[in-house]
Chain A
Amino acid sequence: MNSVSQEAMVDSQPINFQPLKERGQREVFCGLTGIIWLHRKIQDAFFLVVGSRTCAHLIQSAAGVMIFAEPRFATAIIDDRDLAGLADANDELDKVVKQLLERRPDIKLLFLVGSCPSEVIKLDLSRAAQRLGKTFAPNVRILNYSGSGIETTFTQGEDACLAALVQDLPKSNSSEEVDLLVVGCLADVVEDQFSRIFKDLGLKSYAFFPPRESTQKINVGPKTQYLLAQPFLTDTARFLDNLGARRIAAPFPLGVEGTEKWFLAAATALGISQDVFEKVIAPQRDRAKKSLEPHRDVLQGKSIFFFPDSQLEIPLARFLNRELGMSLMEVGVPYLHRQHMAEELAMLDPKTQLSEGQNVENQLDRCRAQQPNMVVCGLGLANPLEAEGFTTKWSIELVFTPIQGFNQAADLAELFARPLTRKNKLMMVETA
């Protein structure tokens, strides 16, 4: 288990993936959707979208099925008076923020979230955040990011949010800098498991980002190395680089193999000995491998087709192919960050058809022509494809479910096995 250096990994990897690039209708979410999980992760934060009724409608259509005694997100709806002049819009925004903070004195961190309308009319929310931040300091911090559809696709909303948080990190105090920062929203249970593994590996100084409480202090600087837990954190990584932190190149912790390589990359970077690594990881790895077996019986040999959604598609495809024996048809991604994805691409079946961007009608034609055993797609396509006789796995669930790490490898496999098992069960009843 000799780990190779970052550069070597990138150089040696086969650059023979020529993704199909298409323009046309993109059937994806905008970045505002990230609010739906971010508001749960950072519990003392509030997300105020500055946008239109469409934006408000999007979020409530997605999250409104839960009944909230105290919602942690809202929309400042722009009306035609605001469109008349920008100065006016700023006054209006101040009024709305004041009203909100009076109603919810428990809020510690307020995000002003940009949308398509606010960006098209060039309402400067970053200046608004600075201005309002001064008014409400020190009780409330006010930050800004864009979740607009014209700028961001689905999980990129998290990237934009975390990038805003990174830019607001306190001035680094080198003695308190963390050695290792794990970046990207993870389920609490996954975070706890990872935390135990890091501790067992002998790491003293590590932190997760974003923190669960917005007030938690994290110091990042040249001493810090960071490990991306999610594949969609382009801007967040860039701002961490600006602080002097260094990225540890690794595949993503999905499946047994991905998780092991992810930890190995961290261990290598932080000088953990091979023996300690093996001692800590081996039992977890072996148990996780065993847990995959029943799901392999269901998934082995089945073909799968991914519509673009979250940028998790490549690591998921790699896991399903290498550890569960599924065959890959098209793997669609909204964006392909070749550097962050290098370790993943090196493991991806070279026969895979990658596609970046989307023309949904053409992609549906390809999907119908290839007749995959399973289609991974968004909820706008899932039921219509089921009605055509396809078995689908709706992709958004993969962002809402604990799927990273050794103990979740089988859960992740089960997410894909379940629709096939279900179809089997229901069809058997029908013919019995």
Chain B
Amino acid sequence: MKLTLWTYEGPPHVGAMRVATAMEKVHYVLHAPQGDTYADLLFTMIERMKKRPPVTYTTFQARDLGSDTAELFKDAARTAYARFKPDLLMVGSSCTAELIQDDPGGLAAALDLPVPILPLELPAYQKKENWGAAETFYQMVRLLGQQFVLAPGQTRSARAPGTKPTCNILGPTALGFRHRDDVEEISRLLRELGIEVNVVAPLGADPSDIARLHEADFNVNLYPETANTAITWMTRNFGQPSTKVIPIGFKGTQAFIAEVCQLAGIDCDIQEFSKSSKARWYALSVDSTYLTNKRVFIFGDATHAIAAAKVAAHEMGFKVVGLGTYSRELAREVREAAAELGLEAMITDDYLEVEEKITELQPELILGTQMERHIAKRLKIPCAVISSPVHVQDFPSRYSPQMGFEGACVLFDSWVHPLMMGLEEHLIGMFKGDFEFHDGAMPSHLGHSGPGKEVLEQAPTMTAAKIGDPAWETDAEKELNKIPFFVRGKARRNTERYAVEQGLLSISLETLYDAKAHFKS
């Protein structure tokens, strides 16, 4: 049993719903207790969809447990097929139904429905949402692609001369963070490069599209969390190579272009192609100089966390002080990315652990999920959202990709926005007593007056002083409060660490500056 304040992922059947809901002409019969229909709201409210998810729930109640829940399931599957006439029927259990072990796959097969049945085994007490989506997509690709598998020893026939190279875009689902606009941005980019998109899946595809996946020359792996399993199978069985680079950020997009050109066998002048990118120029302009070495903590799914770390370090000039993910399936990739930045990656799905790490690091900016916004509020640290889980405000109506050159612009704007702007930061560093622009008030461009001064005097250090820790002298404490709020937590920690290392019993004004010189040198 695990204490969970917030969970980064839902249960695996929500992943299966994300695949079903993304697609056309499929239906999902889910053996689940009354109440699990809450998941419909994720799609109708958070993603603001106009249709009900194509999901029929058995919604059993306590009184049904005494009778035949298997019969209940068969009824639900039979009536769902009769009503919706899908081209493919997915069947499975939610966590509670898993406990009563009715075997939806076997029961559905016994109904002799005239469509393919996709039975889903999603262990709800071990696996989570993204795994559920990946597994569902993989099983579907396998079921519908089986007949096109290359015979052993057979290789993929080369593209006919004079035909355009084609690819599939794989991974986007319902309830994906900016999937809608990423697909549009990347499709356009590929088109401009002269590459045709064969199928986008699961988003917008139907079972007949899934059966056509093998026709493409290669695959674009847009979201490894949901696409990896299927793509690995397709590489092995259809002989299709796939992309590895995630086109997030200016440099990421450039590397992606190079990769797809190579896979498609075409030439492209990448410098010429990307010269109009605004994000690049904005980061180079002098207004952005104050962003240099801002200390940033990054957490999210592996794909977005790795990409954000690269963008933060190499395109924004931030200093990445922490990098982590809840995507255990991709832990290795995140460890590698962290090692490149001289960090040890944090692989956890424990919200409390993430909170503890952020508290310890005292970053100036958090790039994370909706859950990190709770932590950021508690610690009063600016925060921007880079990854699922997200809430309704991160399914915006405006065009807001994260990928491609336009995505790079969106990243620049949304990451810089929560930070205090340059002039204000300078003036607050110089003058402390201003009644309006007081120390630690919310950046005035965000339009709030922010918390009162009294609250902020207590720097957000969560760990109470332990016995034996050096005590702060009054003068030193006063001086500490002259340090701008957003770096004060870090200064406090460094000074305390320095004092402990030096074996000091108390921290004087001089210790504060000694520590400052020590850590700057």
Contacts and interface: CB of A to CB of B under 8 A. Distances in A.
* 3 closest residue pairs by CB, A with B: A30-B35, A149-B35, A380-B40
Contacts of A74: 3-5
Nearest to A61: B42
B41 A76 contact: no
A384 B65 contact: no
B1 A64 contact: no
Interface centre among B1, B40, B65 (most CB of A within 10 A): B1
Nearest to B64: A150
A63 B371 CA distance: 12
A375 B51 CA distance: 16
B56 interface: yes
A57 B45 contact: no
A60 B6 contact: yes
Contact of B34 (A100, A121, A149): A149
A77 B1 contact: yes
A79 B126 contact: yes
Nearest to A98: B3
Contacts of B33: 30, 116, 148-150
Contacts of B123: 80
Interface of A: 24-33, 50, 52-54, 56-58, 60-62, 64-65, 67-71, 74-80, 82-83, 89, 92-93, 95-96, 99-100, 103, 116-117, 119-121, 148-151, 153, 361, 378-384, 386-387
B62 A56 contact: no
A95 B1 contact: yes
A27 B37 contact: yes
Contact of B38 (A52, A58, A64): A58
Contacts of A53: 4, 7, 9-11, 95, 124, 128
B274 interface: no
A69 B51 CA distance: 34
Contacts of A56: 4, 6-7
A238 to B, nearest CB: 18
Given A89-B1, A96-B2, A151-B61, 15 more contacts: A24-B79, A27-B37, A30-B38, A64-B370, A76-B2, A83-B125, A96-B1, A116-B33, A116-B35, A149-B96, A151-B62, A153-B34, A361-B83, A380-B44, A387-B51
Contacts of A27: 37, 40
Contacts of B94: 54
Interface residues of B, number: 62
B344 interface: no
Given A26-B34, A69-B378, A384 B11 contact: no
A361 B79 CA distance: 10
Nearest to B13: A54
B100 A71 contact: no
B391 interface: yes
Interface string B8-38: 0111011000000000000000000111111
B44 A379 contact: yes
Contacts of A67: 373-374, 377
A384 B34 contact: no
Interface of B: 1-7, 9-11, 13-14, 33-38, 40-42, 44-46, 48-52, 56-62, 64-65, 76, 79, 83, 94-96, 99-100, 123-126, 128, 352, 370-371, 373-374, 377-378, 389, 391-393
A17 B44 CA distance: 34
A52 B34 contact: no
Interface centre among A30, A64, A82, A100 (most CB of B within 10 A): A64
Given A58-B38, A61-B41, A25 B4 contact: no
A82 to B, nearest CB: 5
Contact of A75 (B7, B52, B374): B7
A28 B3 contact: no
A234 to B, nearest CB: 15
B99 A384 contact: no
Nearest to A146: B62
A74 B3 CA distance: 7
A382 B96 CA distance: 27
6 contacts: A30-B33, A60-B389, A74-B3, A83-B125, A89-B1, A383-B48
Given A56-B4, A383-B50, A28 B44 contact: no
Nearest to B40: A380
Nearest to A357: B61
A52 B1 contact: no
A62 B38 contact: yes
Nearest to A152: B35
Nearest to B379: A69
Contact of A383 (B2, B49, B99, B125): B49
Nearest to B10: A57
A57 B14 contact: yes
Contacts of A387: 50-51
A348 B391 CA distance: 40
A148 B62 CA distance: 9
Contacts of B377: 67-69
A361 B56 CA distance: 10
Contact of B50 (A80, A117, A384): A384
